[in-house]
Chain A
Amino acid sequence: DTEVTQTPKHLVMGMTNKKSLKCEQHMGHRAMYWYKQKAKKPPELMFVYSYEKLSINESVPSRFSPECPNSSLLNLHLHALQPEDSALYLCASSQDNPSNEQFFGPGTRLTVL
């Protein structure tokens, strides 16, 4: 299996909702990433997990909470989001560090009303 999968594909939520994004890979990769991408912009790194430990948090607001239950799964818990958080949320994985190819999931298109 050489794919990163993400669910859901689309998500619409209100500012008071709590929801979670899920990401899964079965390539044995030990680094996993969450990115946020706005239209016509490059992906913006949010979090990096290396060997299931959070290694980078790019000053992301606490309304985004990552979780890595095991080496194959990565979650992003969302709470009290703002309309400006609407974006494409991409998960990626790589063997161990960014000096190896990052494989991206198809993304979750999030709309916050």
Chain B
Amino acid sequence: GENVEQHPSTLSVQEGDSAVIKCTYSDSASNYFPWYKQELGKRPQLIIDIRSNVGEKKDQRIAVTLNKTAKHFSLHITETQPEDSAVYFCAASSDSNYQLIWGAGTKLIIKP
């Protein structure tokens, strides 16, 4: 079955710097890759997603890149702000599988 690995588990960056979180997946049939942000005590919220027919997608300070050949995708956050502090989860799914397979999560800490 599908397996998603996420690194690093904790990432501490200076406010204003960029942050990059990486995920790899095992199932070549996976075609949908969302990123969720979860603040302490809150629900996971989708911040960006990408499908396998696209290599990159941007939304203001957030971007996701996908390398289908290498089976990895990354989240890039530029000009980090204190409100970016949260746990970020990557996930993967395919049309044939009614499940999101989740990465273990990355705790992002923005230092003032």
Contacts and interface: CB of A to CB of B under 8 A. Distances in A.
A113 to B, nearest CB: 21
Interface in B20-74: 31-32, 34, 42-46, 49, 51
A45 B95 CA distance: 17
A38 to B, nearest CB: 11
Interface of B: 31-32, 34, 42-46, 49, 51, 87, 89, 91, 93-95, 97-100, 102-105, 107
Nearest to B92: A98
A90 B43 CA distance: 8
Interface stretch (A60-68, A74-82, A104-112): A104-112
B2 to A, nearest CB: 11
A21 interface: no
A14 B89 CA distance: 32
A18 B8 CA distance: 40
15 contacts: A42-B103, A42-B104, A43-B89, A43-B102, A45-B99, A55-B98, A56-B99, A98-B98, A98-B99, A98-B100, A99-B31, A101-B49, A102-B100, A106-B42, A107-B43
A97 to B, nearest CB: 6
Contacts of B104: 41-42
Nearest to B105: A42
A98 to B, nearest CB: 4
Interface string A28-59: 00010000000011110100101000011000
B43 A105 contact: yes
Contacts of B103: 42
A68 to B, nearest CB: 14
A42 B87 CA distance: 10
Given A42-B89, A98-B93, A99-B32, A48 B98 contact: yes
Contacts of A90: 43-44
